[in-house]
């Protein structure tokens, strides 16, 4: 299980989205939608029944969300 070492070794969930698109308008739109979704998750993370968003990033056209791990989910 992944651990967020910056958060006192808390277990976390890493979600990955891989796109098979070339650079251009489609990729740019995907980046915009991913960033908007991450910001929504960050805002909703204040809710006690929604896992907190710790981080989000893009690497080599793969998109990642790092969220709080909640037992049983």
Q: Decide: 56 and 63 in contact? Cβ < 8 Å.
A: yes
- Cα–Cα distance, 14 to 41 (Å, whole number): 14
Give the domain CATH number at 17: 3.30.200.20
From first to last of its 73 residues, the chain has per-residue pLDDT tens of 555 566 667 788 899 988 777 767 777 888 888 889 899 988 887 788 888 898 999 888 789 999 888 887 5
pLDDT at 4: 57
pLDDT at 2: 57
Does an H or E element contain 57, and which?
Answer: strand 53-59
Burial string for 46-65 (b: 16+ CB within 10 Å, else e) reads eeeeebbbbebeeeeeebeb
Q: Decide: 14 and 66 in contact? Cβ < 8 Å.
A: yes
73 occurs within a structural domain: no
Q: Read off the pTM.
A: 0.73
Domain coverage including residue 31: 3-68
């Amino acid at each position: 299980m992944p651990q967020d070492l910056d958060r006192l070794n808390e277990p976390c969930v890493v979600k990955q989205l891989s796109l098979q698109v070339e650079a251009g308008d489609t990729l740019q739109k995907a980046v915009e939608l991913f960033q908007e979704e991450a910001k929504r998750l960050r805002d909703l993370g204040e809710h006690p029944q929604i896992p907190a968003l710790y981080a989000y990033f893009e690497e080599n056209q793969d998109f990642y969300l790092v969220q709080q791990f909640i037992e049983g989910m």
